Amino acid sequence: MTVDAAGGGSESGTPVGRRVVLGMLGLGALGVVAGKGIQGGIDTALAPLQRLDPTGLGSLIPGDYFRIYTVTSGYPYESDANYRLTVDGMVDKPLTLQLSDLQAMPPTSMVRTFQCVTGWQVPNVHWTGVKLSDLLAEASVAKGATALRFESFDGLYTESLTLDQAARPDIIVAYSMLGGPVSREHGGPVRLYVAPMYGYKSIKWLSRISVVDRVEPGYWEDNGYAVDGWIGHSNGYGS
């Protein structure tokens, strides 16, 4: 004598569980395809509420804001006064610049969407800094150089650009973002901002720019990300 494993006739009925699962899969797929627009609408709707939010708990609500990345333990710190940026390698005139030196150079400002390769984005981010090409001109790049290697004072993170890429006017050594000095968690006092590429190219806590004769893949690039991280059309692959 046996009974049905599901408990015989007493447990027969409508397969609601399966419908719920399939419905969630459908909603999930819809969310992937349409989520960008939906999140934009939610941000617009919540913006006035979050401005009034005295608790800060509003930041727990998912939305289009910065996810703070650090590859070492915690955030490295350097004071504005002690900060130094070195430009060296294949240059005729190596530079060691203080924050005030950078701020004394002709500024470039732009407002752009910050785009992470994994998908999150922050619209309308305001940036100010010095064109990377201006710094390189000041240091006078030597013949035979083709690329740049960037180092962070976190001691671990590195990045790369070709000299051709570095000539673009929308790549800056930034000391201001979001309407104020670059904060510690965003990579202050000084970080790179590579507007046409994914966020991982915009190295934080920038301390050294070396002019070199070949591209050395940076931190995330060693872990599989594209060396040429053009937003959109490279789809993450080099293009």
Partner 1 sequence: MATVPKSSEVTPAGGTSGARIERFDAVERAVHWTTAFLFAVLILTGAALYLQPVAAIVGRRYLVEQIHVYCGIALPLPVLAALSGSWGRGIRADLKRFNRWTGADRAWLRATAQSRPVRLKKREAVALGKFNAGQKLNAAWTAGGGLVMLGTGLIMRFYQPWPLSWRTGATFVHDWLAAAIVAVAVGHIGMALRHPEALDSMRSGLVSRQWAAANAPRWLEDVAPSEPVQPTS
Does residue 137 touch partner 1 according to CB under 8 A? no
Rounded to whole angstroms, the Cα distance separating 4 from 6 reads 5
By CB under 8 A, name the one of 47, 53, 69, 239 that touches partner 1.
Answer: 69
- Segment 212-231, which members bind partner 1 (CB under 8 A)? 219, 223, 231
By CB under 8 A, name the one of 62, 94, 123, 169 that touches partner 1.
Answer: 62
- The DSSP symbol for 124 reads E
**C-alpha dist (Å) from residue 59 to 4, 47, 53, 98:** 51, 11, 9, 34
SS3 130: strand
Neighbours of 64 (CB within 10 A): 16
Does residue 47 touch partner 1 according to CB under 8 A? no
- Give 84 or 184: the residue with its C-beta nearer to partner 1: 184
CA-closest candidate to residue 133, choices 157, 105, 111: 105
Does residue 183 touch partner 1 according to CB under 8 A? no
**Nearest approach, Cβ of residue 124 and partner 1 (Å):** 15
Left, alpha or beta for 237 (phi > 0: left; psi -120 to 50: alpha)? beta
Does residue 123 touch partner 1 according to CB under 8 A? no
- Give 90 or 225: the residue with its C-beta nearer to partner 1: 225
- The DSSP symbol for 145 reads -
Contacts by residues 80-84 (CB-CB < 8 Å, ≥ 24 positions apart) = 80/181, 80/189, 83/189, 83/190, 84/207
- Give 38 or 137: the residue with its C-beta nearer to partner 1: 38
**Nearest approach, Cβ of residue 228 and partner 1 (Å):** 13
- Segment 70-89, which members bind partner 1 (CB under 8 A)? 70-75
Which residues contact partner 1 (rule: CB under 8 A)?
1-8, 10-18, 20-25, 27-29, 31-36, 38-39, 59-62, 67-75, 115, 117-121, 185, 219, 223, 231-232, 235-237
